[in-house]
Amino acid sequence: MSPIHFNAQGSASWVDRVKAFMPIFEWAPQYDQPTLVRDLVAAAIVTIMLIPQSLAYALLAGLPAEVGLYASVAPLVLYAIFGTSRALAVGPVAVVSLMTAAVIGEHAAVGTHAYWEIAITLAFLSGVILIVLGLFRLGFLANFLSHPVISGFITASGLLIAASQVKTILGVTAGGHHFVEMLSQLVTQLPSAHALSIGVGVFTTAFLFWVRKGLKPLLKRLGMKEAPADIVAKTGPVAAIALTTIATWAFDWQAKGLKIVGEVPQGLPPFSLPSLDMGLWQSLLVPALLISVVGFVESVSVGQTLAAKRRQRIVPDQELIALGASNVSSAFSGGFPVTGGFSRSVVNFDAGAQTPAAGVFTAGGILVASLLLTPALYFLPKATLAATIIVAVLSLVDLGVLKRTWAYSKSDFTAVLTTILVTLGAGVEMGLICGVGVSLALFLFRTSRPHIAEVGLVEGTEHFRNVARHTVQVDPKVLSLRVDESLYFANARALEDSVNAAVANRAGIAHVVLQCSAVNAIDASALESLEAIDARLKGAHIKLHLSEVKGPVMDKLKETEFIHDLSGHVFLTHFQAFETLRQ
């Protein structure tokens, strides 16, 4: 996005404010024919890919297949108006669909009108939450979802999704609220598995894995260029759907027990309204918040990655508003929660999409499919869609994150492992909550024990380093301590203990200098601890000094009595403090 321009009084002009809130007015005036051609080509490719994905993810969410098409029309249009990414494609995604199914399953039975109504309400609440977060610029809240927690959550969700689809491939009825229960029921149902369903499911799975790994190299050997070969390989699910649908119709596999999608209603997405039951809203509020945050994190991650490749940028707070508007529009058009999808966005980018108008053209293609092509989906085997989901989500599973985090950070490993185990054992909501909780608890524990090092002067320089790691100069009268953490309530007492212990072990000390180069903030509790340290040192005829205090921290300290009553001085550099005090 272009920078906001200010008038003589320093306020942004109304034109710039409109462009910031509705980025379509920034790129639309420069829209030309070459851009139109590229966007149309990208839209055609994404539409072909999006149709089977939308159907599959609707079934994953426990909704009729056509609801996936409904959720892929209006959200794309609204995102084109409010979104800042030029390549992000919004619609149903696997993890959000799984979370949707887990939430609604506690309130209504799959297949009922109440189930669909709750899905619509969930999309509406998610949209409202995202818009509110965007208006109040609260996108930073997503930062509490650390990368290890997100990685563990997506990995566990991928395993849950794959396990939930195995029953469809086996042609059996099996439930379960967590991974172990799902596997147990699947093992119990194995004797009644349907051979034809297994054949279709296994063939489709094998075909899709081959398409993913082997089709692109084959096409390149046949002379196709890199980009077209990559795009053709990513449309493999369409070929799988066409093959199995035609085979089911030709050989009448439906009569032999193969479960099919059946009649998919033709027509435009219906106008719908969320439930006005305040009790339902209250029970859906926390799940809607979790779905919103997870969807936002996934969407922004994809958007930032793709924008960086073209030296563009996205605005996270504006993305909240765009995703919120997309979800609200999904609710009013009979859909369920949506977000920016990784696979379809990458395909959209690789296919040459230049602006969000490609999403509008994709919505048009989905609309045409809803009106004209749905009868062709009647004989589509559900096992094919299940295989499509399994292949898509297994690419999200990254068990290697356990090895990497174990080698680098045991605390991150603990957070990842907790997230995976709780998600598999207790469900997606609890897994996410526990993962965030463990991450925050470990952060508090780690920062409550700040690294405080005694430092000395490196000979021939003005630099100070840890006396335990380097050969440095020290002075028996001056104790230099470097505090490597911001000071707040959780570690204030630890600072007192460290200073007391250091002074107790050294006779003849006349000065204690706290090097504050790594201190970005000092809260009220830490300020009281500094006052207590100064008072104790005064009683022992030792002066307390500070060095290298950052500007914003010093601005706050100047407003306090502590800085005026300090027994020592505040030095600009630690070298200045050391040279002055040792003389």
Q: What is the 3-state secondary structure (H, E, C) of 154-215?
A: HHHHHHHHHHHHHHHHHCCCCCCCCHHHHHHHHHHHHHHCCHHHHHHHHHHHHHHHHHHHHH
Residues 60 and 74 sit within 8 Å (Cβ to Cβ) = no
Instruction: Say how far apart CA 479 and CA 152 lie, in whole Å.
Output: 45
Per-residue model confidence (pLDDT) at position 426:
87
Residue 11 is assigned to a structural domain of this protein = no
Residue 15 is assigned to a structural domain of this protein = no
Instruction: Say how far apart CA 66 and CA 245 lie, in whole Å.
Output: 17
Domain match, 188 and 110 both: yes
Count the Cβ atoms, other than its own, within 10 Å of residue 149: 26
Domain match, 209 and 282 both: yes
Instruction: Say how far apart CA 483 and CA 576 lie, in whole Å.
Output: 18
Backbone angles phi and psi of 543, in degrees to 5: -95, 140
CA dist 140 to 115, 145, 261, 338, 393, Å?
Answer: 33, 10, 42, 20, 27
Residue 278 is assigned to a structural domain of this protein = yes
Residues 439 and 297 sit within 8 Å (Cβ to Cβ) = no
| 447, 462, 484 - which closes a domain | 447
Domain match, 192 and 203 both: yes
Instruction: Say how far apart CA 248 and CA 254 lie, in whole Å.
Output: 7
In terms of Cα–Cα distance, which of 126, 118, 117 is closest to 290? Answer: 126
Domain match, 468 and 420 both: no
Domain match, 377 and 517 both: no
Domain match, 441 and 352 both: no
Instruction: Say how far apart CA 47 and CA 310 lie, in whole Å.
Output: 23
Domain count, the chain: 3
Per-residue model confidence (pLDDT) at position 6:
46
Tokens of residue 531, six digits: 């006052």
Count the Cβ atoms, other than its own, within 10 Å of residue 358: 30
Q: What is the DSSP letter of 544?
A: E
Domain match, 497 and 422 both: no
Domain match, 207 and 100 both: yes
Instruction: Say how far apart CA 482 and CA 485 lie, in whole Å.
Output: 9
CA dist 205 to 215, 237, 390, Å?
Answer: 14, 10, 8
Residue 492 is assigned to a structural domain of this protein = yes
Domain match, 378 and 422 both: no
Instruction: Say how far apart CA 215 and CA 220 lie, in whole Å.
Output: 9
Within its chain, how far is the Cα of 553 from the centroid? 32
In terms of Cα–Cα distance, which of 165, 185, 184, 153 is closest to 60? Answer: 165
- Report which residue type is found at 311: R
Question: Could you tell me the residue range of the domain that residue 301 belongs to?
Answer: 24-173+182-261+271-398
Residue 9 is assigned to a structural domain of this protein = no
What angle, rounded to 10 degrees, do the helices at 492-504 and 524-539 form? Answer: 20
Instruction: Say how far apart CA 411 and CA 414 lie, in whole Å.
Output: 5
Q: Return contacts of 285-289, CB within 8 angstroms, 24+ apart.
A: 285/125, 286/429, 287/99, 287/103, 287/122, 287/429, 288/122, 288/125, 288/126, 288/129, 288/337, 289/129
Instruction: Say how far apart CA 286 and CA 294 lie, in whole Å.
Output: 12
Residue 17 is assigned to a structural domain of this protein = no
Alpha helices in 351-409 (DSSP H): 357-368, 382-394, 400-408
Give me the residues of the chain with pLDDT under 70, please: 1-12
Q: Return contacts of 211-214, CB within 8 angstroms, 24+ apart.
A: 211/236, 211/239, 211/240, 212/236, 212/391, 212/395
Instruction: Say how far apart CA 72 and CA 50 lie, in whole Å.
Output: 8
Q: What does the buried/exposed string (b/e) look like for 199-215 if buried means 16 or more CB atoms within 10 Å of the residue's CB? A: ebbebbbebbbebbeeb
In terms of Cα–Cα distance, which of 457, 449, 524, 444 is closest to 483? Answer: 449
Per-residue model confidence (pLDDT) at position 1:
45
Per-residue model confidence (pLDDT) at position 63:
95
Helix (H, G, I), strand (E, B) or coil at 475: strand
Total number of residues shown for the chain: 583
Tokens of residue 202, six digits: 């296994």
Backbone angles phi and psi of 37, in degrees to 5: -60, -45
**What percent of the chain has a predicted confidence (pLDDT) above 70?**
98
Tokens of residue 407, six digits: 């080698």
Per-residue model confidence (pLDDT) at position 384:
93
Residue 37 is assigned to a structural domain of this protein = yes
- Report which residue type is found at 32: D
Instruction: Say how far apart CA 287 and CA 299 lie, in whole Å.
Output: 18
Tokens of residue 489, six digits: 């309530």
Q: Tell me the torsion sign for CA atoms 226, 230, 232, 233.
A: positive
Residues 570 and 547 sit within 8 Å (Cβ to Cβ) = yes
Helix (H, G, I), strand (E, B) or coil at 110: coil
| 333, 364, 398 - which closes a domain | 398
Tokens of residue 327, six digits: 């979800």
Residue 487 is assigned to a structural domain of this protein = yes
Domain match, 346 and 380 both: yes
Per-residue model confidence (pLDDT) at position 12:
55
Domain match, 151 and 132 both: yes
Q: Tell me the torsion sign for CA atoms 571, 572, 574, 576.
A: negative
The H or E element spanning position 453 is strand 452-457
Instruction: Say how far apart CA 577 and CA 570 lie, in whole Å.
Output: 8
Instruction: Say how far apart CA 104 and CA 296 lie, in whole Å.
Output: 20
Per-residue model confidence (pLDDT) at position 405:
94
Per-residue model confidence (pLDDT) at position 5:
47
In terms of Cα–Cα distance, which of 553, 443, 431, 485 is closest to 143? Answer: 443
Domain match, 496 and 561 both: yes
Instruction: Say how far apart CA 120 and CA 203 lie, in whole Å.
Output: 35
Instruction: Say how far apart CA 72 and CA 121 lie, in whole Å.
Output: 17
In terms of Cα–Cα distance, which of 407, 460, 463, 465 is closest to 416? Answer: 407
The H or E element spanning position 483 is strand 478-483
